[in-house]
Amino acid sequence: MRDGSIAEVFDDLTVAPAGSEPVDLAGCALAPGFIDVHFHGELIFAREDDFGAALGRTSEALLREGTTSYLATTVAFSAPRIHSFVTQCQTEMTQSRHRGAELLGVHLEGPWINPAMAGAQPSQAIRPYHDTQDNEILEIAKDSLKLVTLAPECEGVPKLIDRLVKAGIVASLGHSDARQPEIDACVKRGMTHVTHLFNAMGSMHHREPGVAGWALADDRVSCDLICDGVHVDPAVVRTASRAKRDKLLLITDRVDPPEAGEPGSGVVYNDGTAIRLANGELAGSSLSLARAVRNAQDFGAMTRLEAIASASLRPAKLLGIENERGTFQVGARADFVVLDDAGQVRETWLAGNRASSRI
């Protein structure tokens, strides 16, 4: 490593280059740092005057879990709240005031989704896409907006996809019960991804594939999945992995509720396995990406290398940054996670520096 990047890679690990400083990882494995493209955490609850501090706590906590970069993910907020969320994320990205996992940008999960497939999303903010009002949001977001979850059947979404594709932003299907013609039309316009496969979407039947069945069968799109064994049964995780192969990503959809607070759809709580509304409906996970990687292996869905790639290289490819992150290739950032034989995080490295250690 040199100047925060990978300078050289050697086949012979017994010979250190002249002038280098060897680092003994005590028999642990080295992997690219994990990238979470769907993380809510405490950010969806944070007051405007506490948002910067919440970002700091988030980045430090993720770092200890082996996640070196992430997208701050909204729920279906009102336009003013989206404006505030995006603006404060932009400030963090510009100033880099906090140590820890790097905020890569914003993922808007809604508000342009199907209210019948809202799940735990705040229904009062869900709405059609309108050029004038919503283009202003996209203008404000500028380069900080990386991914948008939307429903193809929502009014105005085809125009939204055109706008996103032009700006190089990932358009992802989610919270949807779209029919095949609507989906195909949006894929042709540039929609390339599916958000939390199986959750909050039309379910699969052997005579009616629904959104989930289409996503499994269509090689034009990648998918992400919440691998906690609660949102998706382990047997179905295995099915998804076999169908999507290197186009399946792991996410957390993590929610960290405060003692008092709610994102707009009702009070949420952690039942020990997932985050739920008072009526028991799922409202997010309590996962770390490291735990998701271990689960994917324990469920028999992926090999160790596949599981690590699904939380590092594959998310990087989705965002178009695979030359910079999620890889060991020369020139990439030296963001690493050190894992023991059980898959537990022992160290996290950021830009060539040991930032967190339990060895």
261-315: per-residue pLDDT in tens?
A: 555 556 888 998 999 998 899 999 999 999 999 999 999 999 999 999 999 999 9
Question: Strand, coil or helix: what is 36?
Answer: strand
CA 108 – CA 74 distance, rounded (Å): 5
For 94-116, the pLDDT digits (tens) are: 886 667 999 999 999 999 999 99
DSSP result, 142-178: GGGEEEEEE-TTSTTHHHHHHHHHHHTPEEEE-SB--
* Mean pLDDT value across residues 206-234: 97
253 is catalytic: yes
Q: What's the CA gap between 31 and 79, in Å, rounded?
A: 39
29-334: CATH topology is TIM Barrel (3.20.20)
What is the distance between the terminal CA atoms of the chain, rounded to a whole angstrom? 20
Instruction: Give 193-211 as a DSSP string.
Output: EESSTTTTBPPPBTTB-HH
- Supply the mean pLDDT for the chain: 93
**Of 218, 224, 228, 253, which residue is the catalytic one?**
253
Tokens of 354: 């040991």
Amino acid at position 28, single letter = C
Q: What is the mean pLDDT of residues 342-346?
A: 97
Q: What mean pLDDT do residues 145-172 have? A: 97
Q: What is the pLDDT of residues 49-70, one digit of tens each?
A: 999 999 999 999 999 999 999 9
Domain ranges of the chain: 29-334
Strand order in the sheet with 29-32: 29-32, 336-339, 345-350, 353-357
- How do residues 177-196 score in pLDDT, each as one tens digit? 999 999 999 999 999 999 99
H or E segment and range at residue 38: strand 34-41
**Cβ atoms of residues 228 and 273 within 8 Å:** yes
Phi, psi of 183 (to 5 degrees): -65, -50
What integer pLDDT is reported at residue 94 of this predicted model?
86
